[in-house]
Amino acid sequence: MRHLGLIGLCLCGTVLLAGCQQAERNKIQKEVDSINAADRSNLDAIELTIADPNEAVTYFTKSVEKYPDKTDQKRYLAKSLIRAQRPTEAAKVWADVVAAKDANNEDSVDLADALIRANQWTQAEKVLDGIPPTHESFDRYRLEAMVADSRKEWKKADSFYEIAAGMTTTPAGIYNNWGISKMTRGDFAGAEPLFIQALRYDPTVFATKNNLVLARARQRKYDLPIIDMTQGERSVLLYNIALTAIKQGDVSTGKGLLQESIDSNPEYFPDAVRALNALNANVSN
């Protein structure tokens, strides 16, 4: 009987030991899984924001194949496709994301964005119309403004641009787009203050500076506005103002601006030289 009792105790001890070992293994595995998950998350972030766009597409394509049920991997793939300038493919992936059980309204906004980039405006409008009005975000209103612009619904566009500008701390881009919208309508006076506002938030964007001087030139304001610019930028802006002046029949003013552009450029400016020479030759003839 003693032996049976001893055997029983030994068996009991073995079971307890096995149980402890299994619990320890489970604990270690959880820690390993946690580390691997963190490593994957860090790698995902690097691929999504820093890596070459096409390399990121390859990485997330493989990830989606490996984890087909993970919606976040499809989101990353779609975003990488946008970065790689492949909006049509991105739209297809975003459509899969939107169809997933754990999709959200911002996924639909991203789908609409991809469709607009792919020049599929009708489909983009349908997607935006399907988003509940209670979902308010900067990107949603930015896209709504663009769609309204495409339909020449100017009042709607103005309203959406205004709302979008108030929903971000960096509205330079939206003010610039709003100004372009005004120029498209022929409202150059209305576009001018919007470009100025955009430059207040980001004075470094040359495209906005150029839009501003063109809006002013179309109003026959041929002087440069008081904005930050390099000497090289000054020369190019004067050149573009000159071309606008010439197209509007103000040839003498245009010639003077071309000469000023050439004189102010820190380097040789062949385009301005050719334009001035052609203008002088035309006048001589």
Model confidence pLDDT, tens digit, residues 164-204: 999 999 999 999 999 999 999 999 999 999 999 999 999 99
Nearest to 152 by CA among 185, 191, 119: 185
Enter the DSSP assignment of 152.
T
Q: How many CB atoms lie within 10 A of CB 235?
A: 21
What does the block give as tokens for 87?
Answer: 């909006």
What pLDDT is recorded for position 54? 92
Q: Read off the pLDDT of each residue in 223-233 and give the average, rounded to a whole number.
A: 95
Which CATH number, 3.40.50.300, 3.30.160.150, 3.40.50.2000, 1.25.40.10, labels domain 40-135? Answer: 1.25.40.10
Predicted confidence band of residue 281 (pLDDT cuts 50, 70, 90): confident
Report how far residue 196's alpha carbon sits from residue 126's, in angstroms, rounded to the nearest whole number. 34
The domain limits of the chain are: 40-135
Distances (CA, A) of 203 to 126, 173, 176, 197, 211: 36, 11, 12, 10, 13
CA–CA separation, 48 and 63 (whole Å): 13
At 34, the pLDDT band (50, 70, 90 cuts) reads very low
Q: Which residues touch 53 (CB under 8 Å, ≥6 apart)?
A: 80, 83, 84, 85
pLDDT band at 256 (very low <50, low <70, confident <90, very high): very high
Ramachandran region, residue 268 (left: φ > 0; alpha: ψ -120 to 50; beta: rest): beta
Residue 175 corresponds to which tokens in the numbers above?
């003010």
Apex CA 90: angle with CA 98 and CA 131, to 5°? 35
Q: How far apart are the first and last CA of the chain?
A: 128
Query: Could you tell me how many residues make up the chain?
Result: 285
Q: How far apart are CA 164 and CA 173, in angstroms?
A: 10
Cβ contact 161:177 at 8 Å = yes
Specify the pTM: 0.80
For 42-77, write each residue's pLDDT tens digit: 567 666 766 788 999 999 999 999 999 999 999 999
- pLDDT-derived band at 92 (thresholds 50, 70, 90) equals very high
Q: What is the pLDDT of residue 52?
A: 86
